[in-house]
Amino acid sequence: MNKFETVDFHGIHAIVYALFDGEERLDRAAIRRQVELCLAAGVHGMAALGLATEVSKLTGAERRTLMDWVAEDTGARVPLAFTIFGASVAEQIGQIRHAESVGADWVILQPPPVGTYGAAEYIRFFGRVAGATDLPVAIQNAPAFFGRGLTADEIRDLARQHPNISLIKGEGPVVDIAGLITRTDNRVPIFNGRGGLELIDNFRIGCRGMILAPDCIDHAVRAYNAFHAGDEDGAEAEYRAMLPAAVFVMQGIENLICYGKRLFGARSGIPIHDRGPALRPDKIGLEMVERFAAQLGPLAVE
């Protein structure tokens, strides 16, 4: 067993939304409030700079700023991860260096947002980036969102070649994630996402946890805690409470950013502003946000 196989990241980790002011600038106070609300909900980890954070709309300086802010606001109270975005090995390593400097506990590598290549090229790319850090590394495998990805066997081989590639961030149906767990001999901890869809069955198949945007994060935390306390009925009840909203927002990444962020705003009292280009909300969508927010109840720091 290598030292990375003992990493005990688990549970519900919140990945923050990029919150902007009316001038489309990152809103410091809103980001701080978002982290506070997630921590108050009992999340088991914090994360930033994934798809929900609209990372491709942020400059390199803004990505580093968000790392600074989220690290400061988390205050080492729970494990902290940053997704690493960049079109080249050098750019991704530069982002990792900043993540290391602010105290990240692990990093999540996305495939470079340029071109579409064969698996061997992505394996070399990920290996070179992972080899530049001693942090535990996860590979985000989301072919449905990125249009490119690796097979379960390729991920298994990559993890064998690079011991610090010790986690997987999936974005797939339970049946696919179950196959990935089997093909990797249940040796590489897997976090799923997809807005919490199929939440309880993800736990049943052995997912280590979920990385979710914060619109329904309190219900997801309570579901995880209930399940692992042996209360499957309680876990299912929490999942049923959040499921209609999760289905609504997870109709695609643009829909998540438009309506998931507004659902979080309605529950938290944080005004939501878009950074263009963006999917703009319509009347029906806003009415649904209002209804789901009322059903879910407010997010609050007690």
Tokens 């602010």: give the residue: 102
pTM: 0.95
Locate 257 and state its tokens.
Answer: 């950013």
pLDDT at position 63: 98
Convert the pLDDT of each residue in 5-61 to its tens digit.
556 899 999 999 999 999 999 999 999 999 999 999 999 999 999 999 999 999 999
Domain positions in the chain: 3-215
210: left (phi over 0), alpha (psi -120 to 50) or beta: beta
CATH topology for the 3-215 domain: TIM Barrel (3.20.20)
Locate 203 and state its tokens.
Answer: 């736990």
E strand spans, the chain: 11-15, 45-48, 80-84, 106-109, 137-141, 165-170, 190-192, 209-212
Give the residue among 83, 80, 82, 165 at the shortest CA–CA distance from 126: 165
CB 86 within 8 A of CB 95: yes
DSSP 150: -
Give the residue among 51, 131, 125, 134 at the shortest CA–CA distance from 88: 125
pLDDT at position 31: 98
- Four-CA torsion 88, 94, 100, 103, nearest 10 degrees: -100
Query: Is residue 253 a known part of a binding site?
Result: no
Residue spans of the chain under pLDDT 50: 1
pLDDT at position 4: 58
Locate 90 and state its tokens.
Answer: 């050098």
pLDDT at position 44: 98
Locate 72 and state its tokens.
Answer: 């400061």
pLDDT at position 156: 82
pLDDT at position 6: 52
